[in-house]
Amino acid sequence: MDTEPLSLSKSEIEAIARRIKRPIVLVGLMGVGKSTVGRKLANMLSLDFVDTDHEIEQAAAMTIPEMFEQFGEAYFRDGERRVLARLMEEHHGVIATGGGAFVNDETREQILANGIAVWIDCDIDTLVQRTARKDSRPLLKDGDPKEILSRLHDERAPFYSQAPIRVASADGPHHDTALAIIEAIDRWL
Ligand SMILES: Nc1ncnc2c1ncn2[C@@H]1O[C@H](COP(=O)(O)OP(=O)(O)O)[C@@H](O)[C@H]1O
Ligand SMILES: O=C(O)C1=C[C@@H](OP(=O)(O)O)[C@@H](O)[C@H](O)C1
Ligand SMILES: [Mg+2]
């Protein structure tokens, strides 16, 4: 039984899902919840879910840390741009991007033109705690994660803020942030 509190009924969520005609594309810094909240969001809306980082790893047959290590960030960014273009053409339901994807002009223009971009935003201290749980983010390895995340926030906020929808990542169940996204999309549609 689903015991999570809902401020929208199942049938209300279904009605909103029927009005969503474009992929929901989640953007924002590392740790805001694009991958985990995205999966939950897709599940709640009965839409399919893809994650660009996962797709890049599949295509390259190696992990992101391995890719950065062996070929450098530029190689990863090129793969990221190409994978995003393919995923946008495939008409998925929910797409979680990697934190740097929306900074690329071509990628951002394609997402803004053909998707529903949602910026998930969160305070830096929470992101430091969340990203410390996993060793999979090469950009956070060379220095103090708080300084790096703060710098990336300042550099990327002008891009993220071009997304028409902005939602705060609540520090509770993923369900709550997913629901906040559904409510924000409902208001925006
Ligand atoms: N809204 C949230 N509330 C609590 N924990 C969260 C939330 N969003 C993400 N997390 C946790 O933070 C970590 C990073 O989340 P993830 O979805 O991988 O972020 P991203 O893909 O944006 O880098 C994971 O451990 C995840 O469970
Ligand atoms: O912000 C970034 O530049 C990156 C974010 C990561 O994804 P998440 O945002 O899902 O952690 C991943 O794409 C790569 O490590 C680079
Ligand atoms: Mg992710």
> Positive or negative, the Cα torsion across 156, 158, 164, 166?
positive
pLDDT greater than 80 at residue 97: yes
pLDDT greater than 90 at residue 7: no
Which residue's C-alpha comes closest to atom 5 of ligand 1?
171
Distance 134 CA to ligand 1 centre (A): 11
* ipTM of predicted assembly, 2 dp: 0.98
Which residue's C-alpha comes closest to atom 12 of ligand 1?
130
- Find the mean pLDDT for residues 26-47: 98
Q: In the CATH hierarchy, which top-level class contains the domain 21-188? A: alpha beta
pLDDT of residue 3: 42
Which residue's C-alpha comes closest to atom 4 of ligand 2?
99
What is the residue-averaged pLDDT of the chain?
95
**Residue 24 phi, psi dihedral angles, 5° rounding:** -85, 120
Distance 99 CA to ligand 2 centre (A): 4
pLDDT greater than 50 at residue 2: no
pLDDT of residue 6: 56
pLDDT greater than 50 at residue 54: yes
Could you tell me the pTM of the whole model? 0.96
User: Which atom of ligand 2 is least distant from the CA of 31?
Assistant: 11
pLDDT of residue 38: 98
Q: Which helix (H) or strand (E) holds 15?
A: helix 10-19
pLDDT of residue 152: 98
Distance 80 CA to ligand 2 centre (A): 10
Percentage of the chain surpassing pLDDT 70? 97
Contact 114, 84 (CB under 8 A): no
Q: Ligand 2 in contact with 39 (CB < 6 A)?
A: no
> Positive or negative, the Cα torsion across 162, 87, 128, 172?
positive
Task: Grade residue 170 by pLDDT with cuts at 50, 70 and 90.
Answer: confident
Task: Grade residue 4 by pLDDT with cuts at 50, 70 and 90.
Answer: very low
pLDDT greater than 80 at residue 177: yes
